[in-house]
Amino acid sequence: MKRTITQFLTQWLGSSDRQPLVLRGARQVGKTWLVRHLAEQSGKRLIELNLEKRPEYAALFASNDVQQILLNLSTVAGHTIDAEASLLFLDEIQAAPDLFAKLRWFAEDLPTLPVIAAGSLLEFLLAEHSFSMPVGRISYAYLEPLSFEEFLLASNKEPLYHYLHKYNFEYDISPTIHEQLMTVFREYLLVGGMPAVVASWIKQRSLENVNRIQQNLLSSYRDDFAKYKGGIAMERLDEVMMSVPAMLGQKFVYSRVNRDVQSSSVKQALSLLEKARVCYRVQGCAANGVPLAAELHEKYFKEIFLDVGLCSAALGIGLQQLNSISEIILVNEGGIAEQVAGQLLRTIFPPYIQPALYCWNRDEPGSSAEVDYVIQHGNKVIPVEVKAGSTGSLKSLHLFMQAKKSSIAVRINSDYPSKMQQNYVLLSIPFYLAGQIHRLLDFFEAD
């Protein structure tokens, strides 16, 4: 299936100042497939080493002499390795942490050999490394589950995909096209963007098979718990993992996970799940300017799940409950809508930037307010309010715009696109256009 990050990887492969690339992302988001596809597409001979399945491969890199390493690799591969015609893939590199530090030798002494490293629990290695990081000698790329636009491509809906990339507010979307897009979006809510699940849905159109694969994926994340460092009981990690879907769209409260457990234990478990990329934090901030991380509200944050399809599976949501897109508002009090919006907003970051989500809240007696997301657009802070249906109060958004003296805001909902002028400009876009938010803001500002 087509992934938009492929263009970035192709450019990296052909770059004259290419460095070893570390591909980061949760388990089963398609990292291994992506590297194999890149090698096939570029005509490179792939040298793939899975260091979790074959830990003895780490000994091939014992020397700091890259020519010796290349000789070792050639011996194991059974053929002489032509550096320029090959692609070295170190999969599950977290199983051999010392190899991470050795990536610098490839950048310095064998730049003609493209090297990609990946690992499903790589974040633990990067957070707690005891070796010298190869600063300035490696680059990073971040892989998310399939976006809605990638889901369209996988579903053989290329005309709809190209339509989204050309749409602007100069003309209305026809009811036929809107309904087609919302129908596919409704599928996306249940199927999500995990490649194995999407592939099954495209081939078989069986929600039973989709749910089976999703439950297997959830189980595989539970199986990984034993690999997490921190001494947290597996049942605690499971409680926290299942609490994320239950608290979508709300402040994450430790005591709601388990009132009989200390908050410090829940906090530690949540931190481990975030490192494993099973869930992501939406951090509260002051939203006074960019960068958004400059003024954080440390005690206020929400969580979203890795993938909306897995989230729907965890909540037991089926297609029969979503026959009408307006019924999203009935699902978890609209939490699924905020989940999918956050997931899609993570995909608008360039592949070389780690996605980060922020929200805004004000907790004052008689005047509390919260805006679901705030994003950076150029040097501006743009508030983004998510509404599950086609209507809904915008009281908090009005308070934000008044407090920040802002001129433009975005609403994401299930209605047709629109542009409204009040004390500020409100761009209202349907869920399926969330991936085009920066382009549409640029278009409005240039208008």
> How far apart (Å, rounded) are the C-alpha atoms in residues 95 and 111?
24
Q: Specify whether 172 is located in the same domain as 201.
A: yes
**What per-residue confidence (pLDDT) applies to 130?**
61
Minimum mean pLDDT among 130-134, 309-313, 419-423: which range?
130-134
Question: Per residue in 347-390, pLDDT tens?
Answer: 999 999 999 999 999 877 777 899 999 999 999 999 999 987 66
**Cβ-contact 200, 221 below 8 angstroms:** no
Q: End of a domain among 121, 142, 163?
A: 142
Q: Specify whether 97 is located in the same domain as 120.
A: yes
Q: Specify whether 286 is located in the same domain as 187.
A: yes
| Mean predicted lDDT score pLDDT of the chain | 91
Helical packing angle, 175-191 and 158-166, nearest 10°:
110
> Identity (one letter) of the amino acid at 155?
S
DSSP strand pairing (279-285 vs 139-142): unpaired
Q: Specify whether 250 is located in the same domain as 354.
A: yes
**What per-residue confidence (pLDDT) applies to 410?**
97
What would the DSSP string read from start to end of 305-342?
ES-HHHHHHHHT--GGGGSSGGGGGGSGGGHHHHHHHH
Q: Specify whether 132 is located in the same domain as 198.
A: no
Residue 252 CB contacts under 8 Å (≥ 6 apart), including other chains? 243, 244, 270, 301, 302, 303
**Closest by CA position to 436, among listed 235, 180, 153, 165:** 165
**What per-residue confidence (pLDDT) applies to 444?**
87
> How far apart (Å, rounded) are the C-alpha atoms in residues 338 and 63?
50
> How far apart (Å, rounded) are the C-alpha atoms in residues 429 and 414?
8
Q: Total domain count for the chain?
A: 2
**What per-residue confidence (pLDDT) applies to 447?**
66
Q: End of a domain among 92, 121, 142?
A: 142
Q: Tokens standing for 343? A: 């997931």
Q: How sure is the predictor about 329, in pLDDT bands with cuts at 50, 70 and 90?
A: very low
**What per-residue confidence (pLDDT) applies to 334?**
74
**Closest by CA position to 277, among listed 308, 244, 305:** 305
**Cβ-contact 302, 251 below 8 angstroms:** yes
Q: Specify whether 9 is located in the same domain as 87.
A: yes
> How far apart (Å, rounded) are the C-alpha atoms in residues 294 and 282?
15
Query: 257-265: which pairs have CB atoms within 8 A and are 24 or more residues apart?
Result: 261/236, 265/232, 265/236
C-alpha distances (whole Å) from 171 to each of 166, 168, 432 are 11, 7, 17
Residue 42 sits at φ, ψ, to 5 deg, of -90, -5
Whole-structure pTM over 0.85, yes or no? yes
Q: Specify whether 154 is located in the same domain as 121.
A: no
Tell me how long the chain is.
447
Span 59-66, average pLDDT? 91
Helix (H, G, I), strand (E, B) or coil at 157: coil
Name 426's bridge partners. 409, 420
Q: Specify whether 242 is located in the same domain as 163.
A: yes
**What per-residue confidence (pLDDT) applies to 134?**
67
**What per-residue confidence (pLDDT) applies to 1?**
80
Q: Specify whether 207 is located in the same domain as 132.
A: no
Q: How sure is the predictor about 325, in pLDDT bands with cuts at 50, 70 and 90?
A: very low
Span 258-270, average pLDDT? 93
Question: Per residue in 222-231, pLDDT tens?
Answer: 998 888 877 7
Question: Per residue in 93-140, pLDDT tens?
Answer: 999 988 888 888 888 899 999 999 998 888 887 776 666 666 678 999
Q: Specify whether 239 is located in the same domain as 292.
A: yes
Q: Specify whether 74 is located in the same domain as 174.
A: no
Q: End of a domain among 142, 175, 199?
A: 142
Give the domain range for residue 432: 148-446
> How far apart (Å, rounded) are the C-alpha atoms in residues 185 and 207?
15
Helix (H, G, I), strand (E, B) or coil at 386: strand
Q: Specify whether 133 is located in the same domain as 164.
A: no
**Cβ-contact 309, 214 below 8 angstroms:** yes
Q: How sure is the predictor about 286, in pLDDT bands with cuts at 50, 70 and 90?
A: very high
Domain of 17, CATH number, reads 3.40.50.300
